Structure 1
Amino acid sequence: MENITDYKYRRAKEQVECIKGFYSNLTAYAIVIPLLAYLNYMTSSFPWIIFPAIGWGIGLVGHWMSAYDKNPFLGKGWEQRKIKELMEKDQF
């Protein structure tokens, strides 16, 4: 059985990986969207860049919320409360 220190370490490592993934996603957004904007400016009068910028931006906000435990819908600590509730419910 896993002790509390191992559990905390594993959760912290998962959190760090998620934050790292968020920053990679943010870096890609910061590089790709301006390139697409330039391509849009050079090739078309229709501003189609807004669609990938907004779509990816929404995904980026979701990734940020996941990486930093910011969930306005379920509140802080919801996951831990739900796990505790389910564990207590499952006891014999």
Structure 2
Amino acid sequence: MDDITQNARYREARRHARNLRGWYIHALIYVLVIGGLFTLNLIQNPGRIWAGWSAFGWGMGLLAHGLSVFVGPNFFGADWEERKIREYLEKRP
């Protein structure tokens, strides 16, 4: 493997590791803050669970962040459209 290819692979691996670390930090903060909100909610107003809305909204953001890290940016990236066009054309006579 030449140096250019190896360097590009290293940069890609480093970018992925940073994105992965960012998602784990995001998930940890989510658990801590949502846990605190539920605790506060149960102390102040146990009859009405409002913290669930925060957990749901932030959870959607965490899910989107996770998809970008674990599935990758190519989930709906530039090559996705080209791939779908080729699939469509292969199905049609």
TM-score when normalising by structure 1: 0.70
Instruction: Name the CA distance, whole Å, in 2 between partners of 1:66 and 1:74.
Output: 10
Q: For residues 78 and 57 of structure 1, what CA distance do their matches in structure 2 show?
A: 28
CA distance in 2, matches of 1:58, 1:31: 16
Q: Which of 48, 51, 63 in structure 2 is aligned with 1:49?
A: 51
Question: Counting helix residues as a fraction of each chain, which structure ranks higher?
Answer: 2
Aligned to 2:87: none
Which of structures 1 and 2 has the bigger CA Rg?
2
1-side partners of 2:32 and 2:59: how far apart? Answer: 13
Structure 2: tracts of 5 or more residues without a match:
84-93
User: How far 1:52 sits from its partner (Å)?
Assistant: 1.1
- Note the C-alpha offset of 1:59: 0.8
Secondary structure of the residue aligned to 2:71 is coil
Aligned match of 2:23? 22
Task: Calculate the aligned-residue CA RMSD, in Å.
Answer: 2.9
1:58 corresponds to which letter in structure 2?
M
Give deviations 1:34-61, integer Å, cap 9, x for gaps.
1100101111233210121011100111
Q: Partners in 1 of 2:18 and 2:72 — Cα distance?
A: 16
Can you give the 5+ residue segments of structure 1 that lack an aligned partner in the other structure?
A: 83-92
Deviations 1:2-34 (A, max 9, x none): 922211111110100000011111111111111
2:8 is aligned with 1:10: no
Aligned length: 79
State which of 57, 60, 72 in structure 2 corresponds to 1:58: 60
* Identity percentage of aligned residues: 28
Amino acid at match of 1:41: L
CA-to-partner distance for each residue in 1:63-85, whole Å, 9 max, x for gaps? Answer: 111111257x628x947x79xxx
